[in-house]
A and B are shown apart, each in its own frame.
Chain A
């Protein structure tokens, strides 16, 4: 079983601060997805990264896939209360299809006004 470890598990910051959350594994993944989940709802995809070293930006969010495709990070600039939620990373198995994802346990982010 491929495992994904997310850190930190909990993060509480003030509006306007920057933050980075991490997703690490000892296994290689074919792709890495980041989802955000709000209370009472299902996760929603933010981004997919597929190439080692790849960097993608989504407004104030920057996602990076490690060179060896074993880890990823999510950086949020000038966090806003609307960024509050559970951030989940999910890996597609190397050599396999992405519909059988392995999820990390998530980082619960709270951005205080």
Chain B
């Protein structure tokens, strides 16, 4: 199994451009999430999904859109990139242990390093 894969690994955008960060997992996990990691800020949840067709906002959703048409894929779209979105983005997936998925391990992808000029 490849686990959680993310593309691209690096990306440079100009302010106002749009792009999609790809995330895929081959573990048949129900739950998928997007985080951003900034120096001194830890990991902050952007959006998450509890299954195909179901998404919800996390702590810092503004400027980002997501969709979940399949179990495997969870792309993150930047609508109009801003310098404040310069960050490292991590996608994660986890499985359900029943009862709402308590105590699940999150499996992280290798990250996408995005710079917005």
Contact = CB atoms under 8 A, between A and B. Distances in A.
Interface of A: 1, 9, 30-31, 33, 40-45, 48, 50, 88, 90, 92, 96-101, 103-106
B101 A98 contact: yes
Interface stretch (B11-19, B68-76, B79-87, B104-112): B104-112
B33 interface: yes
Given A42-B90, A42-B92, A99-B33, A30 B43 contact: no
A26 to B, nearest CB: 17
A9 B40 CA distance: 9
Contacts of A103: 35, 42-44
Interface residues of B, number: 28
Contact of A44 (B48, B100, B108): B108
B41 to A, nearest CB: 6
A45 B110 contact: no
B58 interface: yes
Given A105-B40, A105-B41, A97 B108 contact: no
Contacts of A45: 105-106
| Majority secondary structure, A binding face | loop
Interface of B: 4, 31, 33, 35, 40-45, 48, 50, 58-59, 90, 92, 94, 100-106, 108-111
B111 A42 contact: yes
A40 B43 contact: no
Residue among A30, A42, A50, A98 with most chain B CB within 10 A: A42
Contacts of B31: 99
Contacts of B101: 97-99
Given A98-B94, A104-B42, A48 B110 contact: no
A47 to B, nearest CB: 10
B48 A48 contact: no
Contacts of A48: 103, 105
Given A42-B108, A99-B31, A99-B50, A50 B44 contact: no
B42 A98 contact: no
A98 to B, nearest CB: 5
